[in-house]
Structure 1
Amino acid sequence: MGEDQRLELRQGQRLILSPLLQQSLKILQLPAIELKEYIDEELEKNPVLETAEREPELPAAEKDDGSLDIEKLAEHFAKEGSGPDTYEERERGKKPDIDYENLAHTRYSLEEHLLFQLHMSDIPEDELKVAEYLIGNINEDGYLLVSVEEAAEKAGVPVETGVKALAVIQGFDPTGVGAINLRECLKIQLKAKGLEATLSYKLVELYWEEFEKGHLEVIAEKEKIDIKNVYKAIEVISKLEPKPGLEVNDSEVRYIVPDILVEKDENGSFRISLNNEGVPFLKISKFYREMSQKANITLEEKKFLKDKFSSAVWLINAIGQRKKTLLKVTAAIIEAQKDFLENGTDYLKPLALKEISEKIGMHQSTVSRVTAGKYVQTPKGIFPFRFFFNVKIATGEGGPCVASRAVKDAIKNIIEEDKNGNMSDSKIQIVLGELGFKVSRRTVAKYREGMKILPAIKRKILGKMKGGSLQ
C-alpha cells in the first residue's frame, strides 16, 4: 500500500492506522449533519479545497499497490465533475422531498443505543438475555440501578454469566456506561484511554477517599511527589464525563436529518438516493494546482502544496466512498425489507448485520460503521438504520421466523386493547400463539418490561384511577 494509506503492525502486533485511513473511517461513520460540519472545518484548514457546484466523479486512480494516485486525482478534482447520487440509474428524475414535518419525531434513547450495540455483538444467548435486563436497568445518566446478582437471578443464569454480560456492556459507547457509581464510571473511562498506569487512575483506584475530601497533600506525601503532579492528574479526571448517558440520552428532542431518501416510483419500484442537502461538494483549486506546477516556487512551498493536495484528495475520495458504501448497503437492506415498505411493521423480516455484509461482500464492521447513527426516510416514515435489523423469533416447529419488533408490536396492541388489565403475560402468550407467534411467557415479560409496560395487576389498578396509564 502507499505510504499515506499504510496499515502498520507495532509492538505486540497491534494494528495501527495511518491518520488518513483514520480520517476515511471517521467519514464513513459521520451522519449528514456532522459530515457537513466536518467539511466546513476542512475548507477552513485547507486552502486548496474549494466548494463545487456539482459532485466530482471518482475515477479509477489507484496504483498497483492499492494506494491513491495523488497527482492523477488532484488533476481530476481540479475540474468540476458531476456525480449521480442515486443507486442504479441515478438522478433520472426529481429527488424525493425531505419530510421536514416529521424530522423531530424521533428521540434516540440511551437504551436503544445500547440494545443496538448489544444485538450487533456476537455473544452467547444466556449472556444476551441477562445483558438485555441490565440495559433495561441503566438510568438516563448511564448508571446501573441493579446488582449483577439480581440481574442474573431474573434472567435465570449464573452470576458469572451476568458478570461477563456487564463487561460487554461496559465496553459499549458511550464510554463509562453501566457503572454502579461515579468511581467505577471514571475507572472505565481512564482504562479506555489507556491510562491505568497513571497517577489519575491511582487517585480513583487507591486514593478515592482522600480525593473526594480534597486531602491532596496526603496523596502527594504518600506518593512522594510534588503536589503539582496531583493537580495535573486531577485535570485529566476533570475532562471525563461523570454522566456518560447524557451524551446519548439528551432530554431535548433531536432533529433528525435522513442520510438516505427512499421513494416509490411510477413503476412501483423503490428508488434510493443520498440526501446531499446542505453538504457541499468539493473540488481542488485550479489556482493552487497551477501554482504547484510553476518552476519559480520554493521547495518549501512545493512541499506545503503537495501535502495539502494529498489531504484534499483523500478527503474527496473518502466522501465518495462513503456515498457508494451507504447506497450499496441501503439497497441490500431495502431489498431484504421490501415487504415492510409495502405493508408495514407486521411484515418486517428478521435481519442480521452479517446477512447484509455477506450479501454485498463487505466486512461486517464496515456495514456497522456506515449504518450507525444514520437515518433513512421511507414511504412509511423516518427510521434509524438499526430499525431494520431484528432478532429472529420462531413461530412454531417448522414455521417461518419473524422479527422481534413484530412480536413487540403485537404485545403492545394486545395490552392496549385490554381496557380492564386482565391480560397477564401467560394470557398474552396464548393470544400470540393464536396470532402465529410461538414465544415463551418469559419472552413476553421481557419484551413488555423492555417497552416499560406495567404487569397486569398494576395496569388493572391504574385503569381504575382517573388518568391511568400503561406506562
Structure 2
Amino acid sequence: MSLAPRLDFRQTQQLVMTPQLRQAIKLLQSSNLEVTAFVEEELERNPMLEREEATTAAPAAPDPVERDSFEATQSPSIADAPIEADWSAGYESGEALYPSSRSARADAWDEEGRSLEEIAGERPRSLREDLAEQARLAFGDARDRLIAGQMIALLDPAGRLTVPNAAFAEALGCPEEQVARVRSRMQRFEPTGLFCADLRECLAVQLAEKDRLDPAMQALLNNLDMLARRDMPGLLRVCGVDAEDLTGMVAELRHLNPKPGALADADPAPPVVPDVLMRRAPDGTWLLELNPETMPRVLVNRGFHAVAQTGTRTKEDRAFLAEKLQAANWLVRSLEQRANTILRVSAEIVRRQEGFFRHGVAHLRPLILREIADELQMHESTVSRVTANKYIATPRGVLELKYFFTTAIAGTRGGETFSAEAIRHRIRDMVDAEPADDVLSDDAIVEQLRAEGVDIARRTVAKYRDALRIPSSVQRKREKSSPAF
C-alpha cells in the first residue's frame, strides 16, 4: 500500500446557497407587507433600481433592450385550465367584492373643515391621555391631581389598579381618606369600572352607575365563584330570588365590561389585504389574478447605468456598478418568479377545492402539500413557503392559503376520505341543532358521524370539540336546562 501523496480528480454535485438564492427564498415566504418593506430598503440602497409609479393608462410593454421591469398589474390571469363553477344565487359578482380604494373622495370635508386625509392621519388618543384629560377637568386641587396621575400611571392593561389606598397614602404623604375619595371618583370616569382592585368591584361600579346595585345583585357579585360553577340552586338560596329574577341578573352581568381598559386602549386590528383576487369569468369559470395593491413596481434603470459607466475611471467604481446592476436584475426576477409561483399554487388549490367554493366548508377536500407539489413539479418546501402568510379573496371571504390544507379522515365506505375541517364544521352544526332535552354525548356524535360514512374515534371528536370551545355534554345539558346560563 503506497502512502505517497497524489492528485485526484473527483466530480460531485452540491447546492450552494448564494446570497441571491437566500434572498429569493426569503421573498417567497414573506407576506406582502414584508416584501414591500424589503423593496423600499433596496430602492434606498441600490441606485440601479427605481420605482414605477402607477398610472391610470394601460402600461406600455417594457423595452427588453433598455430596461427590465416587473409590473404586477400585467400579471396574467390563471385561466388556462378553467374550473366550471355553479355561481350560487345570492353571491355578488367578483368585481363587487374588491371595491377600489381610489373611489373614495379625498377632497371631502367634515363639519370642522378637515379633509378625510387629515382625519385618517390623526392618531387616536390613548386611554391614559383620555384619563389625564378627565382628571384635569374633575379635580381642582393640585394634590388630588397628583394622586390621580399616580393611579393612571399604575393602571394595568385590563383597567385594574391592585395597589391599595394605604400604599398610595404612604408614598405620597397624604391621608388615606383623600386617596379613597379620588379613587372612588375616578372609577366613574369613562369607561366606567376602571381603577378597581378586582372583577367584583369592577362590576359593582358599573351596576351602581346604572342604579342596579341592589342587595340581591350584591350577593350575586359576592359569589361569582358559584356563578362560574353554574351552581344555580346555591345562587337562588344566597340571593333570595326566584329563577326568573336570577336569569335577568345574570343577563345584566353579561352586558357589563369585565376589562374596560383592554377594550378602550386596544389598537384596531389591521385589515388583511389579499395577495390573490378570485372572480368569476363570463363563462362561469374561476379566474385568479394578483392584487395590484400588494405587488411593488420596480424597474432596472439601464439608462442610468450607461450614463454612470461612462463617467467611471477606476476599477472599483466599475465593479460597484456591475454589482448593483446584478443585484437589481436579480431582485426583479425574484419578484416576478414569486408572483408566478403564487398564482400557480393558488390556481391548483382552487381547482382541487371547487366543492368548497360551490357548496361551503362541508365539501372541503383533504389536501396536503405533497399533492400540490407533485402536480406543479415543485418541492414541498416551496409550496409551504408560498402558502405561508398569503391570503386569497374568495366569494366566501378572505382566507389564508394554508386554510385549504387539512388532514384526511378515513371513511367507512372504502377509499372515501373527509377533511378534518369539514368534520369540525359538522360537529359544530350537530351541537347547535341539538335540543335541550337530548344533548349529544361524544359517543352519540361518533355514532352519527359513522352513520354518515366517517370513520372517527371518540377521542378525535373530543379533541375537535375542545378546539371549537364546545363544552362537554354534561355542561351543555346544565346550561340548556337552566335559562340563567
The answer to whether the superposition gives a TM-score over 0.5 is: yes
Give the conservation status (yes or no) of the 8 Å contact 1:264–1:271.
Answer: yes
Counterpart residue number, 1:239? none
- The alpha carbon displacement at 1:259 in A equals 0.8
Give the conservation status (yes or no) of the 8 Å contact 1:74–1:309.
Answer: no
Measure, in 2, the Cα distance between the counterparts of 1:26 and 1:97. Answer: 33
Once structures 1 and 2 are overlaid, which stretch shifts more, 352-361 or 450-459? Answer: 450-459
For residues 203-251 of structure 1, the C-alpha deviation after alignment (integer angstroms, 9 at most, x for no partner) is xxxxxxxxxxxxxxxxxxxxxxxxxxxxxxxxxxxxxxxxxxxxxxx99
- The alpha carbon displacement at 1:439 in A equals 1.6
Measure, in 2, the Cα distance between the counterparts of 1:86 and 1:97. Answer: 18
1:317 aligns with 2:301: no
Measure, in 2, the Cα distance between the counterparts of 1:292 and 1:328. Answer: 39
Counterpart residue number, 1:84? 75
Counterpart residue number, 1:43? 43
Measure, in 2, the Cα distance between the counterparts of 1:337 and 1:251. Answer: 35
Q: CA RMSD in A?
A: 3.3
SS in 1 for 2:310: coil
Give the conservation status (yes or no) of the 8 Å contact 2:288–2:347.
Answer: yes
Compared CA separation, residues 372 and 446, structure 1 to 2 (3 A): same
Give the conservation status (yes or no) of the 8 Å contact 1:79–1:284.
Answer: no
Counterpart residue number, 1:403? 419
After superposition, where does 1:224-263 map in structure 2 within 5 Å?
253-263=269-279
Measure, in 2, the Cα distance between the counterparts of 1:378 and 1:42. Answer: 32
Compared CA separation, residues 262 and 384, structure 1 to 2 (3 A): same
Counterpart residue number, 1:450? 467
Give the conservation status (yes or no) of the 8 Å contact 2:67–2:302.
Answer: no
Give the conservation status (yes or no) of the 8 Å contact 1:273–1:327.
Answer: yes
The number of residue pairs the alignment matches comes to 292
For residues 284-308 of structure 1, the C-alpha deviation after alignment (integer angstroms, 9 at most, x for no partner) is 1244222244165432221211111
Compared CA separation, residues 39 and 438, structure 1 to 2 (3 A): same
Measure, in 2, the Cα distance between the counterparts of 1:312 and 1:95. Answer: 36
Counterpart residue number, 2:84? none
SS in 2 for 1:17: coil
Counterpart residue number, 1:20? 20
Measure, in 1, the Cα distance between the counterparts of 2:377 and 2:36. Answer: 29
For residues 334-391 of structure 1, the C-alpha deviation after alignment (integer angstroms, 9 at most, x for no partner) is 1111111111111111111100100110011000011111111111111111111111
1:331 aligns with 2:322: no
Q: Which runs of 5+ in 1 are unaligned?
A: 1-12, 60-72, 102-249
- The alpha carbon displacement at 1:15 in A equals 6.5
- The alpha carbon displacement at 1:330 in A equals 1.0
* 1:427 maps to which of 426, 444, 456: 444
1:438 aligns with 2:455: yes
SS in 1 for 2:398: strand
Measure, in 2, the Cα distance between the counterparts of 1:349 and 1:436. Answer: 15
Measure, in 2, the Cα distance between the counterparts of 1:443 and 1:343. Answer: 25
- The alpha carbon displacement at 1:84 in A equals 2.7
Measure, in 2, the Cα distance between the counterparts of 1:82 and 1:50. Answer: 17
Measure, in 2, the Cα distance between the counterparts of 1:461 and 1:262. Answer: 45
Compared CA separation, residues 254 and 431, structure 1 to 2 (3 A): farther
For residues 118-174 of structure 1, the C-alpha deviation after alignment (integer angstroms, 9 at most, x for no partner) is xxxxxxxxxxxxxxxxxxxxxxxxxxxxxxxxxxxxxxxxxxxxxxxxxxxxxxxxx
Give the conservation status (yes or no) of the 8 Å contact 1:56–1:282.
Answer: no
- The alpha carbon displacement at 1:275 in A equals 1.0
Which has the larger Rg? 2
Q: Which runs of 5+ in 2 are unaligned?
A: 1-12, 82-92, 101-265
Once structures 1 and 2 are overlaid, which stretch shifts more, 73-82 or 252-261? Answer: 73-82
Measure, in 1, the Cα distance between the counterparts of 2:60 and 2:408. Answer: 42
- The alpha carbon displacement at 1:309 in A equals 0.7
For residues 154-203 of structure 1, the C-alpha deviation after alignment (integer angstroms, 9 at most, x for no partner) is xxxxxxxxxxxxxxxxxxxxxxxxxxxxxxxxxxxxxxxxxxxxxxxxxx
Measure, in 1, the Cα distance between the counterparts of 2:303 and 2:374. Answer: 45
* 1:386 maps to which of 397, 402, 408: 402
Give the conservation status (yes or no) of the 8 Å contact 2:450–2:456.
Answer: yes
Compared CA separation, residues 278 and 386, structure 1 to 2 (3 A): closer
Measure, in 1, the Cα distance between the counterparts of 2:61 and 2:464. Answer: 47
SS in 2 for 1:383: strand
Q: Which has the higher contact order (CA 8 A, sep 6+)?
A: 2
1:363 aligns with 2:379: yes
SS in 1 for 2:292: coil
Measure, in 2, the Cα distance between the counterparts of 1:95 and 1:308. Answer: 42
Measure, in 1, the Cα distance between the counterparts of 2:69 and 2:380. Answer: 35
1:32 aligns with 2:32: yes
Compared CA separation, residues 463 and 79, structure 1 to 2 (3 A): closer
Counterpart residue number, 1:236? none
1:461 aligns with 2:478: yes
Normalised by the size of structure 1, how large is the TM-score? 0.56
Counterpart residue number, 1:308? 324
SS in 1 for 2:279: strand
Counterpart residue number, 2:253? none
Give the conservation status (yes or no) of the 8 Å contact 1:98–1:261.
Answer: no
SS in 2 for 1:27: helix
Aligned partner letter, 2:477: K
SS in 2 for 1:376: strand
Instruction: Provide the identity percentage.
Output: 32
Compared CA separation, residues 395 and 57, structure 1 to 2 (3 A): farther
* 2:430 maps to which of 402, 409, 414: 414
Give the conservation status (yes or no) of the 8 Å contact 1:33–1:257.
Answer: no
Measure, in 2, the Cα distance between the counterparts of 1:81 and 1:435. Answer: 46
Measure, in 1, the Cα distance between the counterparts of 2:295 and 2:28. Answer: 14
Give the conservation status (yes or no) of the 8 Å contact 1:32–1:279.
Answer: yes
Give the conservation status (yes or no) of the 8 Å contact 1:87–1:273.
Answer: yes
For residues 65-122 of structure 1, the C-alpha deviation after alignment (integer angstroms, 9 at most, x for no partner) is xxxxxxxx895417999843422479xxx98466479xxxxxxxxxxxxxxxxxxxxx
Give the conservation status (yes or no) of the 8 Å contact 2:79–2:286.
Answer: no
Compared CA separation, residues 351 and 392, structure 1 to 2 (3 A): same
Counterpart residue number, 1:349? 365
Counterpart residue number, 2:138? none
- The alpha carbon displacement at 1:39 in A equals 1.2
SS in 2 for 1:396: coil
